[in-house]
Amino acid sequence: MQQAIQSAMKIDKDILERYHKNQCTAEESDMVEAWLFSNDSGEVLDLPPSESKDIHKLEIWNDIATVLPHSEQPGQFESISALNPQPLKRKVKMAFWSGAIAASLVTAIFSTVIFQLMKTDLPETALVNIKNTSADEVRHLTSGDYTIAVGTNTSARIDNVTGVVDLNGSMLICPKKDVELSFRGSTRKITFIKGQTYILLKGKDGKDKILIVDKKNLMDLPPVLQKQITHEFNI
Amino acid sequence: MGKDGKEYLVETNALDSGKLTPEQDGALLNAEVMDRSVIVKGGFYYEMDRKAGKLVKYQIKGEELTTADTLPLDRFSIENSFWAGGDTLLLTGLKTPDFAQAAYALLTTGNMKLIASGNMEIPRPFGRFETMSIGFVKMQGKKLLVGYTYHQQLSPSEYTTSDTIYVTSLSYPQMKSVKTDRDHRSTYPGGMNTIQSSSFADEHGDFYFMACPGIALGNRPQLPTAILKIGRGTDQPDKNYFFNLSLALHNHAYGMWYLGNGQAIVRSERKDLFKGLDDHYSTAHFEFYLVDVLTQKVIKKLDFPLDKGTRRECVLVEGNIAYISINSSTDGNYVWEYNIKAGTLKKGLQMAGNTDYILRIDRLR
């Protein structure tokens, strides 16, 4: 059924936008979801050349994730890997439908984390997208490349292909291998050493400087920030 | 602290020469529960275990740091410590998790028993301010003087500090407010004295404290770093005394240690050598200056290699000698001797092996 719908209709920017806004017909929704669950890159997709299907997929997943009831235990996160597509479909589909029900009942925003693996020819977890909208609870998670603690009211996006991080909030990150990252709004590249934990802080404002400090030097930070971090991350 | 991030505690009888290797000669610390904010006296180390909510008394036995005793201190974060005679220790700090209510704990460390604890009658942050810092406590007759200020969080990485130094006189030990003075000449009085000293009383009973608005403490760098004075028997900063260090050194400074006869050492940053808070601790940029607080003059720069580490308890004064630990990026980690009368410097004990920073130096007994 899904295959039939897919072949009969094209997924374009308009339908994706309407899906974001929950304005699709049932048939259109089925089609988008079929596309969403597929890892087949040969499907019909009519987007401008500048737009990435993968990014749209990710954004939809993020939208879905923001309304998911947070069923995991605190500190547990779902990690989705396309290298293992069956669990991906099963887990996400189940979560999606729970989320669809929750969306009509719950207006509160839930903390969310989505790992998205785009293509098998990209490194694992090419894009790590993180959103923690909790005001008082830090989220801990592990991806293929990092162990991360996401601070309260924090969103972050780590693009492992370009090595660019876009952060709004606070996080602790411990890479599993040496990695060089730069930060949106800055040309400076920072080498993060395998096994060391770094404190990253940045505000919403694009002009806000990002602060990167090795956790072992926490006590060298201004006490105001040090107290904020020790309390937030229970260090 | 080693280059691998491991921290060690080393005890020695001699600072004037020799070489110690923390990995061999020291006790490895559990950095998850212990950091450099330590109070040292009588052969014991006292440190707040934040996660467990207790003050822990440690001692080194053999090569191990062992727990001798503990005292529960719930929801308490130490800002300043003050020995109130014998083994009576007054800890002043803030209630967690808000860091907005000034509190105290008075205890005897011999038996680790609490004498009294509670809130201090100091106004909570108001208006746009959310948190506060207590920078010094000073017994003045039957009153306790507390210097503090307030902070506003601007973003996860940015904050600022009120433009005012507050000094409240509290009845002691009732901790009730008697009077509050507001001083607008600088801000961020003192600092956490468990991490670095920034105040002292001289031989005449006059009390001096630094105001530290630089990026590493107050982050209101438009205001000058200065030394202020609270005269003997008075309860507020002397309005006629203001030793403007920023004017003299063209930089902000943090950390001050008294040598006697009006002379003190201050530790000053070099803003031309670091980029920001990111590298403030790892770049060697700190200089040490000898100052005269009586004449409000900088006497001279002490001829050390540039030092690294944003906040460190790095000076220990014993009679005529000031022992000063220096973390150089190029010349290693040494304790230097400054002969106060002769004004001469000599390289002493080397901390070798994997040492990256000497974080503090204390008299143990």
A87 and A22: one domain? no
- At residue A103, the pLDDT reads 31
Contact B133, B122 (CB under 8 A): no
Identify the band that residue A36 occupies on the pLDDT scale cut at 50, 70 and 90: low
Q: Is residue A143 a contact partner of residue A227, using CB atoms and an 8 Å limit?
A: no
Spatial contact of B162 and B200, defined as CB atoms under 8 Å apart? no
A222 and B191 within 8 Å at the Cβ level: the answer is no
pLDDT of B343 > 50? The answer is yes
> Which residue of A154, A220, A230 is in closest CB contact with B281?
A220
Domain contains A65: no
Q: Which residues of B touch A214 (CB under 8 A)?
A: 5, 282
- Shared domain for A77 and A146, answered yes or no, is yes
More confident residue, B154 or A105: B154
Beta bridge partners of B167: B147, B181
Same domain (yes/no): A87, A203 = yes
pTM metric for this prediction: 0.79
Give the model's confidence band at A37: pLDDT under 50 very low, under 70 low, under 90 confident, else very high. Answer: low
Pairing state between β A112-116 and A127-132 = antiparallel
Residue A15 inside a domain? The answer is yes
Residue A60 counted as domain residue: no
CA distance B303 to chain A (A): 24
Identify the weakest region by mean pLDDT among A110-124, A181-195, B48-62.
A110-124
**A217: closest chain B residue by CA:** B281
Q: What are phi and psi of A193, to 5 degrees?
A: -85, 135
Distance CA B5, CA B256 (A): 27
Q: Are residues A36 and A80 in the same domain?
A: no
What are the residues whose beta carbons fall under 8 Å from the beta carbon of B4, sequence distance 6 or more?
A: B354
User: Which of B217, B251, B207 minimizes the C-alpha distance to B135?
Assistant: B217
State the Cα–Cα distance between residues B244 and A148, nearest whole angstrom: 44
Q: Which residue of B has its CA nearest to A204?
A: B155
Contact A217 B282 (CB under 8 A): yes
Q: Which of B155, B192, B308, B310 to mutate to test the interface with A (most CBs of A within 10 A)?
A: B155
A84 with A160, same domain: the answer is yes
Pairwise CA distance, residues B185 & B221, whole Å: 13
DSSP tag of A117: -
What ipTM was estimated for this complex? 0.91
Residue A115 lies in a domain: yes
Taking an 8 Å Cβ-Cβ cutoff, which residues of chain B contact chain A? 1, 5, 31, 35-37, 50-51, 77, 79, 94, 96-97, 99, 131, 133, 151, 153-159, 161, 191-192, 195, 215-217, 219, 276-278, 280-282, 309-311, 359
* Residue B297 confidence (pLDDT): 98
**Phi, psi dihedral angles at A38 (to 5 degrees):** -90, 145
Q: Return contacts of B191-194, CB within 8 angstroms, 24+ apart.
A: B191/A223, B191/B133, B191/B135, B191/B217, B191/B254, B191/B255, B191/B311, B192/A223, B192/B37, B192/B78, B192/B79, B192/B80, B192/B133, B192/B311, B193/B80, B193/B81, B193/B136, B194/B37, B194/B38, B194/B39, B194/B78, B194/B80, B194/B81
What tens digit of pLDDT does each residue of B221-234 get?
Answer: 999 999 999 999 99
- Lookup: tokens for B207: 């009390």
Amino acid symbol at B181: D
User: Based on the number of CB atoms within 10 Å of its own CB, is B145 exposed (0-12), middle (13-18) or buried (19 or more)?
Assistant: buried
Gap between the terminal Cα atoms of chain B: 23
> From CA A230, how far away is CA B97, in angstroms rounded?
10
Residues B64-108: tens digit of each pLDDT: 899 999 999 999 999 999 999 999 999 999 999 999 999 999 999
A203 → chain B, closest CA residue: B155
Rounded CA separation B266/B256 (Å): 4
Q: Does residue A181 belong to any structural domain of this protein? A: yes
Q: Which among B26, B39, B47, B23 is positioned nearest to B84, based on CA atoms?
A: B39
Residue A68 is assigned to a structural domain of this protein? no
Inter-chain touch B51–A169, beta carbons under 8 Å: no
- Report the candidate in B77, B312, B311 with the shortest Cα–Cα distance to residue B216: B311
Which of B36, B51, B97 minimises the CB distance to A219? B36
Number of domains in chain A: 2
Q: How far is A234 from chain B (nearest CA, A)?
A: 7
Task: Look at B217 and A196 and tell me if their CB atoms are within 8 Å.
Answer: no
Tell me which chain B residue has its CA closest to the CA of residue A136: B97
Same domain, A37 and A86: no
**Which chain A residues contact residue B217 at CB under 8 A?**
222-223
For residues A122 and A224, membership in a common domain is answered with: yes
Cα separation of A29 and A35, whole Å?
A: 10
Segments forming the whole domain that contains residue A20: 1-51
Q: Do B277 and A211 lie within an 8 Å CB cutoff?
A: yes
**Residues present in chain A in total:** 235
With tokens 């909570």, the residue in question is: B124
Q: Answer yes or no: do B159 and A227 touch at CB < 8 A.
A: no
Calculate mean pLDDT across residues B320-341: 96
Range picked from A79-83, A217-221, A222-226 for highest mean pLDDT: A222-226
Q: Is B244 helix (H, G, I), strand (E, B) or coil?
A: strand
Q: What is the pLDDT at residue B185?
A: 97
| Cβ contacts of A181 on chain B, cutoff 8 Å | none
Q: Which two tokens stand for residue B279?
A: 């590298």
Question: In terms of domains, do A41 and A79 share one?
Answer: no
A58-103 residue pLDDT tens: 555 555 444 443 433 333 232 222 222 233 333 333 333 233 333 3
Domain assignment present for A66: no
Q: Are residues A162 and A221 in the same domain?
A: yes
Which three-class secondary structure state does DSSP give residue A3? helix
Q: Is residue A57 included in any domain, yes or no?
A: no
Q: Specify whether A125 is located in the same domain as A14.
A: no
| Contact of B194 with B38, CB cutoff 8 Å | yes
Residues A42 and A109 in one domain: no
Which two three-digit tokens encode residue B146? 């507390």
Q: Is B194 exposed, middle or buried (0-12, 13-18, 19+ CB in 10 A)?
A: buried
Amino acid at A139: R
* Terminal C-alpha separation, chain A: 52
3-state secondary structure of A223: helix
**A47 and A129 belong to one structural domain:** no
Residues of chain A with Cβ-Cβ distance to B216 below 8 Å are 220, 222
From B131's Cα to the closest Cα of chain A, the distance in A is 8
Mark residue B296 as left, alpha or beta (left: phi above 0; alpha: psi -120 to 50; beta: remaining).
left
User: With contact defined as beta carbons under 8 Å apart, do A226 and A219 qualify?
Assistant: yes
B/e letters for B235-268, b = 16+ CB within 10 Å, e = fewer, are bbbeeebbbebbebbebbbbbbbbbeebbbbbbb
